[in-house]
């Protein structure tokens, strides 16, 4: 799949904040529901935010692989952070750059009061494109 990352002049350069402004890609869209820091039985793996982020990204990679895709096929993500602050953003940025380098998908980060289950601190959903 060939995707185009576009960060146009006139808008700030966003990769330091963990996203790209525009991702354009041809092909069939695949929607990945929110993945969180859960084990294979659905239980939250840890009370630690960094552990939950790492597991949620691992779960996202598992979901993508199940349909023959990988992180390079992702064009948009939504991230949801309980009690968002700069410390949590730094943890998320580390995982984003470990997964996508500087070729980041478009992203909307939402700080929330709570998520679906007690103890959940982070969730990520994704839109990927099958080329």
Range of the domain at 39: 4-8+17-130
Question: How far apart are alpha carbons 110 and 107 in whole angstroms?
Answer: 10
Q: pLDDT class for 3, splitting at 50, 70, 90?
A: confident
Tens digits of residue pLDDT in 62-102: 999 988 899 999 999 999 999 999 999 999 999 999 999 99
The pLDDT score that the predictor gives to residue 1 is 59
Residues above pLDDT 70, as percent of the chain: 98
Tally of structural domains, the chain: 1
Asked if residues 80 and 115 have their Cβ atoms less than 8 Å apart, the reply is yes
Q: What is the CATH number of the domain that holds 123?
A: 3.30.1330.40
Tens digits of residue pLDDT in 27-45: 888 999 899 999 888 899 9
Each residue of 7-30: b (16+ CB within 10 Å) or e?
Answer: eeeeeeeebeebbbbebebeeeeb
122: β partners: 81
Number of Cα atoms under 13 Å in the Cβ half of residue 47: 0
């Amino acid at each position: 799949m060939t995707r185009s990352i576009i960060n146009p002049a006139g808008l700030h350069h966003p990769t330091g904040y963990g996203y790209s402004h525009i991702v354009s890609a041809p092909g069939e869209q695949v929607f990945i529901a929110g993945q969180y820091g859960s084990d294979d039985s659905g239980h939250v793996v840890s009370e630690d935010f960094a552990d939950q982020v790492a597991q949620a990204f691992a779960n996202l990679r598992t979901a993508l692989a199940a349909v023959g895709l990988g992180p390079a096929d992702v064009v948009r993500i939504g991230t949801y952070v309980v009690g968002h602050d700069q410390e949590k953003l730094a943890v998320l940025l580390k995982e984003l750059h470990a997964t996508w380098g500087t070729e980041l998908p478009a992203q909307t980060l939402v700080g929330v009061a709570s998520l679906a289950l007690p103890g959940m601190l982070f969730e990520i959903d994704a839109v990927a494109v099958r080329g």
